[in-house]
Structure 1
Amino acid sequence: MVTAAEAVDIALVSMRDGYVQVSAFVAVTVLLFGLIQYRTGGALLRTIEENERYGPVFGALMGLTPGCGGAIVMMPLYVRGTVSFGTVVATLMATAGDSAFVILALAPEAALYSYALAFAAAIVFGYAIDRFGLGVGRVDDAVARLSPATTDGGVVETAGVAGNPGHEYGTDGPVHTHESGPDHESRVLTPLSHAAHVVWWVAAVAALVLGITYLVRGAPDVAFTFGLGFDGLFTVVGLVGTGLSVYLYGVGRHYIGEGSVGRVRESFASAYETFQHAAMETSFVTVWVIVAYLVYEYAIVLTGFDVAAAAAAAGLLAPVGGALIGLIPGCGPQIVLASVYAQGGIPFSALTANAISQDGDALFPLIAIDKKAAVVASIYTTIPAILVGVGLALVWGPVFGLPEFGFGVLGP
């Protein structure tokens, strides 16, 4: 039984860790993509949309970006009908997630091999889905009959966006009606929201520094305390950032920005607008990440299930366990798994299977926009993860003579 005090502690720690360990890195990659869009007038997005046959390659490249920002910006393109379902799956399969920062810092050689395998599998399987269907056609027909979900209560309408063979919506794709500006104007909440946005970026920069330091130190336990030391700043910045994210997502986006989240902008009129959009999208992801953290942490406390111990004790089934853990949305369980690998607790095959299976935080906007597609995509990423993982378990050590445990891990 969890006491009220324990439940509060879990909630506060989850909110703190979600922002520092995840949101700051998501913000950087989403902002980077936005700045490229701003500087090129939307050329990158148009290139992806106009070269559909290279969709899985583009998707895998975006997913391979450490963190989840690159993958996040690809998800709304599917609902718009401008990229195929195979591209979505390729993006999610290649997504390294925030666990990539742990492995890159502590086991760079293992990261190179693991993510290269994930990248190759993503392209092959993404093209296979588009070429052979694998049941996607029936799923897309079902999805097309549903009213596309919105994230802010707005109205969805069709307006001149052509569909594609990978995701049909009749002849048009869904476009959100909030295109010209925020939903409301207020003498109080509009300037307050702009101020919250600016402070949010201050917190994001501080969280990025703290997050990188945290990973370089080997992802140690951080005490929940307040002060000017590392642990104290980690807590303060995390809680402030989460609080501002909740405000921007729940209130601020109706008074600044476009009033909508979970979609890709064609281009940006100014650098400030680019930063604003990145903050709104990251706040949106932050809320979903916190929910996932809370569900995961409460489930662990209530059931006593030890994810790392189960994977380590599975033997040849370890990669299956790694792939199944990858089904859990978000990066929390994947960060745990990456940390355990760096400590020699799970084999390389399990790490690679998890790298292929995990969808990271990119699954959250897809869940919010198109739940059925999110479920199917998550299942599809797990199938090749198991195949590749079990294959590695059979040949990595016996054939290539490479250690399954501790491969590529830097010494103390």
Structure 2
Amino acid sequence: MSFIVATAPGPSNALRRMTPNKRMLLPVVLMALLMVPGSRQVTLQVLSDAFFQVGIFVYLSLVAFHAVASRVSGGRMAELIARYPAVELSGAALLGALPGCGGAIVVVTQFVRGNASFGAVVTVLTSTMGDAAFLLLASEPVTGLSVMAISSVVGVITGAVVNYIHQDDSVMRQPAKASNDNVACQCEGTLASPFASRFASYFFLVLAIPALIIALFMAFNVDIQAYSAVLNTSIVYGGASAAFITIVLWAINGQATAPSQPNAPAGKLQVLSANAAADTQFVLSWVVVAFLLFELPMFWFNVDMAAAFDGMGVVAVLGAIAVGMLPGCGPQIMVTGLYLQGALPFAALLGNGLANDGDALFPAMALAPKAAAYATLYSAVPALVVGLGWFYLVG
């Protein structure tokens, strides 16, 4: 996801449209890897696995999530938090635990308006995993729920301590020159044209059922190769093609500045599919990068990446926490992808999840930069304590 600050049309927007799209580098690199005989099969398998093992589950979970979110009022949740301050931190933790950025934005904007405490901001940023939560829930739902539960509890405790330290949090605020009306949470790769929106929406709608059937066979370890080598090859090439198209869609829509179909009902299936497809494009692209970074060194240099990261021990945990302090969801998705590949221990995933503020840090930086800086540092403390504690005590 990304945050788009509404601006009046002008030369800056025209200049932005003329700026080269750096995201096209990923499909270009993938094409190069597919053209080289030495890396073709590995790249095909990575693309296929990413689509069937991750992409389709992320898409379907996002459709369900957006369907629920379209019927829940963020303003109503903010009103409840302001009305019942005794449960403020628990409410902030719950909003932070929701996948994506929407819940965290509610708390950040309410803090700027004086309706939420600074501890609530720390709580929501500690609890959130951003878009990485979609990937984890789609791939390992039990692990995802466990991380969300731990992050919520730790977030509430951290927020309570911060509120005790900062009983007067007015210094953390600055006059809000922008409200949440002009800081919007838009899906990464928001589709720029009706045609692109319809194409992405129907592309995933058409593939959803057959891709889910294949993905379930894979999830239950059914050896398709044993039944038909031709079918297995077709699945690999079909999945790789679907993943590549998804990444190209992410790349070409990377500079979109307005949401698609603004007047369409939020709960309409086509809109739900388009929104889910846009997020899936972003998540899948970063997952492919993570998988390739894991698989290619093993193929080219015979390096066991899982053993290499395992040999790093506590350094891997500290590295994951450091990555978690970076704003944005892309690097966090890579960390989650490496965990799912077996390259990182659970302690690294947990530390990254606690330190990870996701895209929610961007509006915080825009609306209350001092609070955003302090909140990032405060969320790093429980990440170090819990992440390192889990590593040394559990493993």
TM-score category of the 2 structures, normalised to the smaller one: 0.5 to 0.7
TM-aligned CA deviation for residue 387 of structure 1 = 0.6
SS at match of 2:240: helix
SS at match of 1:173: coil
- Check 1:177–1:135 CA distance in 2 against 1; reply closer, same or farther (3 A cut): closer
> How is 1:94-133 mapped onto 2 (pairs within 5 angstroms)?
96-104=133-141, 116-130=149-163, 132-133=165-166
Asked if the contact 1:323–1:357 (Cα under 8 Å) also holds between the matched residues in 2, the reply is yes
Asked if the contact 1:203–1:241 (Cα under 8 Å) also holds between the matched residues in 2, the reply is no
Q: Deviations over 1:64-92 (max 9, x none)?
A: 46xxxx23332443564467522431332
Distance in 2 between residues matched to 1:116 and 1:76, nearest whole Å: 20
Output the TM-score relative to the length of structure 2: 0.59
The corresponding residue for 2:94 is 61
Q: Deviations over 1:374-411 (max 9, x none)?
A: 88766554431221132234444xxxxxxx3xxxxxxx
- Check 1:385–1:46 CA distance in 2 against 1; reply closer, same or farther (3 A cut): same
Does residue 85 (structure 1) correspond to residue 121 (structure 2)? The answer is yes
Residue number among 374, 385, 388 corresponding to 2:383 in the alignment: 385
2:128 partner amino acid: L
> How is 1:5-404 mapped onto 2 (pairs within 5 angstroms)?
5-6=32-33, 24-38=56-70, 40=71, 42-43=72-73, 46-52=76-82, 53=85, 54=87, 56-62=89-95, 64=97, 70-77=99-106, 80-81=109-110, 84-92=120-128, 96-104=133-141, 116-130=149-163, 132-133=165-166, 169-170=175-176, 173-176=179-182, 190=194, 193-203=197-207, 217=221, 229-246=234-251, 256-258=260-262, 269=265, 271-272=267-268, 275-276=270-271, 279-280=274-275, 282-283=277-278, 286-287=281-282, 290=285, 294=289, 308-315=306-313, 319-324=317-322, 326=324, 329-340=331-342, 349-358=347-356, 363-364=358-359, 366-367=361-362, 370=365, 380-396=378-394, 404=395
Output the TM-score relative to the length of structure 1: 0.57
- Check 1:300–1:27 CA distance in 2 against 1; reply closer, same or farther (3 A cut): closer
Identity rate, percent? 17
Asked if the contact 1:16–1:238 (Cα under 8 Å) also holds between the matched residues in 2, the reply is yes
Q: Deviations over 1:140-178 (max 9, x none)?
A: 65xxxxxxxxxxxxxxxxxxxxxxxxxx54376141399
TM-aligned CA deviation for residue 124 of structure 1 = 1.7
TM-aligned CA deviation for residue 257 of structure 1 = 1.8
- Check 1:77–1:89 CA distance in 2 against 1; reply closer, same or farther (3 A cut): same
List alignment gaps of at least 5 residues for structure 1. Answer: 142-167, 179-185, 219-224, 260-267, 397-403, 405-412
TM-aligned CA deviation for residue 120 of structure 1 = 1.7
Asked if the contact 1:226–1:233 (Cα under 8 Å) also holds between the matched residues in 2, the reply is no
1:333 partner amino acid: V
Q: Deviations over 1:355-390 (max 9, x none)?
A: 43456xxx2475589576888766554431221132
Asked if the contact 2:126–2:155 (Cα under 8 Å) also holds between the matched residues in 1, the reply is yes
- Check 1:374–1:280 CA distance in 2 against 1; reply closer, same or farther (3 A cut): farther
List alignment gaps of at least 5 residues for structure 2. Answer: 1-28, 185-191, 223-229
Distance in 2 between residues matched to 1:335 and 1:275, nearest whole Å: 29
Q: Deviations over 1:186-230 (max 9, x none)?
A: 9xx646643543334334555555556555549xxxxxx998743
Distance in 1 between residues matched to 2:210 and 2:247, nearest whole Å: 13
Distance in 1 between residues matched to 2:197 and 2:356, nearest whole Å: 34
Asked if the contact 2:50–2:284 (Cα under 8 Å) also holds between the matched residues in 1, the reply is yes
Distance in 2 between residues matched to 1:393 and 1:350, nearest whole Å: 8
Distance in 2 between residues matched to 1:228 and 1:339, nearest whole Å: 23
- Check 1:15–1:59 CA distance in 2 against 1; reply closer, same or farther (3 A cut): farther
Please give the root-mean-square deviation of Cα atoms over the aligned residues, in Å.
Answer: 5.2
Distance in 1 between residues matched to 2:175 and 2:276, nearest whole Å: 25
Distance in 1 between residues matched to 2:94 and 2:306, nearest whole Å: 29
TM-aligned CA deviation for residue 48 of structure 1 = 4.1
Distance in 1 between residues matched to 2:340 and 2:237, nearest whole Å: 25
Q: Deviations over 1:112-162 (max 9, x none)?
A: 765543332122224444553599977x65xxxxxxxxxxxxxxxxxxxxx
